[in-house]
């Protein structure tokens, strides 16, 4: 998947051998843009990864340039209530984070990561261009028409992210050979520095974009991201000749593995079809004839082992499953409890571009020479925290943890995710305490300094270093090789479902707390609202989910490079 130039004719064997002898060692399972075996010294590694990081930086600048200040655009320009705007932001963020599951499906099954990134970039550019147009005075002046165009543009951007987000990181990680000792170790660092680079570029740019949107022009504030996306696509295309494209076996094997999603679904269907056919002893005999199963994973989800039974019916012959396919299905099934218990982190993260931003709007934002900080720009504290903490994590925390645990990566991926989840619980509690103080000072006609919000933003940045990067690496590493775009999409879906859950909770709580003439927790006058109650509720839910997460994490059986939690 993803090869740019292929030919039906076989390449000249002599010239190919000469090329390998001159250029050096080839990379197993990878080809270059012409479909030839990839030369290690001339392809992949950090050189290729930097082009991919380049396009991802511009994409993140565009996405966060919209997301960070979207609630203010909805309330100020489209005149929506705070609760409605917060729900719309959460629904859009949730949709934009869930659509990558479909983008990953098409990339892994049909288009390949390279082509999907290019197609998604064009969708992004179209959406951003229309977004800038909708904010201008060039469209018919009816409010309803402008709103419709605005939301169409917004969801075109979400479609762009659907193809972009799951493929860029997976394609970047593909540039490191997991079978090569040095490159495999560098790939683990790649996930850390990927996130570090995105945050380093996003932090300052977010400040500038939010200032332009609040004080100069929304047209310019949406138009600049459009130009950035065009520039990012050019950067990505410039690296084409250096990329490694992964392949899977010979042509016959590829045909068998054409659609990994259907292959996994076939296992579940076969297990259901054979549900009453076998006794446990029969299954054990069949397992032995099929080959040696991994010592632990075969003990989990043993009902799927029934898919191994071969039918003599010629019509159903193609539905027969082999051992590798059953183990792939088990690997995907093992991820679901971890995914489900991680959703509370996405629920907590959804508050950053909504209620965190609204809090800042009512506080004293004056700094030097009367300059006021745009409330959405406070989100730059999160990438700043990541920039500061990532080197500490890579160069101090991991070596120290390694010396204590004797594990190659210091701590396991699930331990890393869990630490970030715990930090997010503390962060929400701190946010609730700060909001309680802000409400108290507001009743006394005092303006609380916006700098009081720094702790909750900064701690979320540290939590991201653990949980977000941990989820990225965990899902990429633990899914079957052919589903790695889907692995990246699974981490995004944690944020997406979390945002949708947040929107649902806001709707329910607004209805319940505001009935019978009572004040809603999300009253338009934030000084009369009770966002602090909402933060306490989220903190409690996160704590309960964290306890359940620990139970699943302790029993999780790793595949590939993972290490058990005990």
**Overall size of the chain counted in residues:** 566
Rounded CA gap, 37 and 30, in Å? 6
Which residues on adjacent β-strands are paired with residue 364? 449
Set out the domains of the chain in order of their start, with CATH numbers. 42-247+330-555 (1.20.1250.20), 256-321 (no CATH)
* 412 DSSP 8-state letter: -
- Give me the phi and psi of 26, to 5 degrees please: -95, 165
Task: Specify the pLDDT at position 544.
Answer: 96
Contacts of 283 (CB under 8 A, 6+ apart): 302, 305, 306, 308
Each residue of 306-327: b (16+ CB within 10 Å) or e? bbbbbeeeeeeeeebbbbebbb
Task: Specify the pLDDT at position 122.
Answer: 93
Short-list 52, 51, 34, 32, CA closest to 42: 32
- Which residue is listed with tokens 């319940």? 512
Short-list 437, 442, 420, 421, CA closest to 538: 421
Q: Give yes or no for a contact between 353 and 432, defined as CB atoms under 8 angstroms apart.
A: no
Rounded CA gap, 97 and 488, in Å? 11
- Give me the phi and psi of 51, to 5 degrees please: -65, -40
Contacts of 332 (CB under 8 A, 6+ apart): 264, 479, 480, 483
* Three-state secondary structure readout of 440-501: HHHHCCCCCEHHHHHHHHHHHHHHHHHHHHHHHHHHHHHCCHHHHHHHHHHHHHHHHHHHHH
Rounded CA gap, 506 and 360, in Å? 19
Q: Give yes or no for a contact between 198 and 141, defined as CB atoms under 8 angstroms apart.
A: no
Short-list 373, 358, 346, CA closest to 529: 358
Which residues on adjacent β-strands are paired with residue 372? 366
What stretch of H or E contains 117?
helix 113-135
Which residues on adjacent β-strands are paired with residue 245? 31
Q: What is the CA radius of gyration of the chain?
A: 25
What predicted TM-score, i.e. pTM, was given to this entire model? 0.71
Task: Specify the pLDDT at position 252.
Answer: 39
**3 state SS of 236:** helix
Sheet of 245-246, strands arranged across: 37-39, 26-31, 245-246
- Which residue is listed with tokens 């595949």? 559
Number of C-beta neighbours around residue 87 at 10 A: 24
The pLDDT profile of the chain, 566 residues, written as one tens digit per residue, is 445 544 444 445 545 554 444 455 787 777 877 878 878 877 778 888 889 988 888 888 888 888 888 888 888 888 888 788 888 888 888 888 888 878 888 887 788 889 999 999 999 999 999 888 888 767 666 677 778 888 899 999 999 988 888 888 888 888 888 777 777 777 777 877 787 787 777 776 777 888 888 788 888 888 889 999 999 999 999 988 888 888 754 433 444 445 666 777 888 888 888 777 654 444 555 555 554 444 455 567 777 777 777 665 545 555 567 777 787 788 888 888 999 999 999 999 888 888 888 888 888 888 776 677 877 778 888 888 888 888 888 888 888 988 888 877 778 889 999 999 999 999 999 999 999 999 888 888 778 888 899 999 999 999 998 998 889 888 878 877 777 767 777 887 888 888 889 888 988 898 888 777 677 888 878 888 888 999 999 999 999 999 999 999 998 887 755 444 33
Task: Specify the pLDDT at position 380.
Answer: 82
Rounded CA gap, 343 and 394, in Å? 26
- Give me the phi and psi of 424, to 5 degrees please: -65, -30
């Amino acid at each position: 998947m993803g090869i740019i130039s292929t030919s039906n004719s076989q390449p000249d064997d002599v010239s190919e051998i000469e090329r390998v002898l001159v250029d050096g060692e080839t990379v197993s399972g990878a080809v270059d843009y012409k479909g030839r075996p990839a030369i290690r010294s001339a392809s992949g590694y950090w050189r290729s990864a930097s082009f991919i990081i380049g396009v991802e930086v511009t994409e993140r600048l565009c996405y966060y340039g919209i997301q960070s200040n979207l609630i203010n655009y909805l309330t100020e320009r489209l005149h929506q209530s705070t609760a409605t705007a917060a729900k719309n932001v959460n629904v859009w963020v949730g949709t934009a984070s869930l659509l990558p599951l479909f983008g990953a499906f098409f990339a892994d099954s049909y288009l390949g990561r390279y082509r999907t990134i290019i197609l998604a970039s064009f969708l992004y550019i179209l959406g951003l261009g229309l977004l800038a147009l909708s904010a201008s005075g060039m469209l018919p002046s009816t409010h309803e028409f402008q709103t419709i165009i605005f939301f169409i543009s917004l969801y075109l951007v979400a479609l762009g992210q659907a193809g972009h987000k799951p493929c860029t990181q997976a394609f970047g990680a593909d540039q490191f050979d997991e079978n090569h000792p040095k490159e495999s170790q560098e790939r683990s660092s790649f996930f850390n520095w990927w996130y570090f680079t995105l945050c380093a570029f996003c932090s300052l740019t977010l400040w500038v974009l939010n200032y332009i949107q609040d004080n100069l022009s929304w047209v310019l504030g949406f138009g600049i991201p459009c130009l950035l996306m065009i520039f990012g696509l050019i950067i990505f295309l410039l690296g084409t000749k250096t990329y490694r494209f992964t392949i899977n076996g010979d042509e016959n094997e590829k045909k068998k593995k054409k659609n990994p999603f259907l292959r996994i679904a076939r296992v579940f269907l076969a297990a259901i079809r054979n549900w009453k056919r076998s006794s446990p002893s029969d299954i054990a005999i069949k397992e032995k004839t099929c080959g040696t199963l991994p010592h632990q994973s075969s003990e989990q989800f043993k009902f799927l082992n029934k898919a191994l039974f071969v039918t003599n019916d010629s019509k159903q012959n193609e539905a027969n499953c082999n051992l590798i396919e059953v183990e792939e299905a088990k690997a995907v099934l093992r991820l679901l409890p971890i995914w489900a218990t991680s959703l509370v982190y996405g629920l907590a993260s959804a508050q950053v571009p909504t209620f965190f931003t609204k809090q800042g709007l009512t506080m004293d934002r004056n700094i030097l020479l009367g300059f006021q900080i745009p409330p959405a720009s406070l989100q730059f504290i999160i990438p700043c925290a990541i920039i500061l903490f990532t080197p500490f994590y890579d160069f101090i925390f991991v070596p120290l943890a390694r010396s204590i645990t004797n594990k190659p990566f210091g701590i396991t991926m699930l331990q890393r995710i869990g630490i970030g989840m715990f930090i997010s619980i503390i962060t929400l509690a701190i946010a609730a305490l700060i909001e309680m103080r802000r409400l108290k000072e507001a009743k006394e006609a005092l303006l609380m300094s916006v700098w009081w919000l720094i702790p909750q933003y900064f701690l979320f940045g540290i939590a991201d270093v653990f949980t977000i990067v941990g989820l990225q690496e965990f899902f990429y590493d633990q899914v079957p090789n052919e589903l790695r775009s889907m692995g990246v999409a699974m981490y995004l879906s944690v944020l997406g479902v979390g945002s949708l859950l947040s929107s649902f909770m806001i709707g329910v709580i607004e209805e319940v707390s505001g009935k019978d003439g009572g004040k809603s927790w999300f009253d338009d006058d934030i000084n009369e609202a009770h966002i602090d109650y909402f933060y306490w509720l989220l903190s409690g839910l996160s704590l309960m989910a964290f306890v359940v997460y620990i139970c699943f994490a302790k029993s999780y059986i790793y595949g590939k490079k993972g290490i058990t939690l005990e």
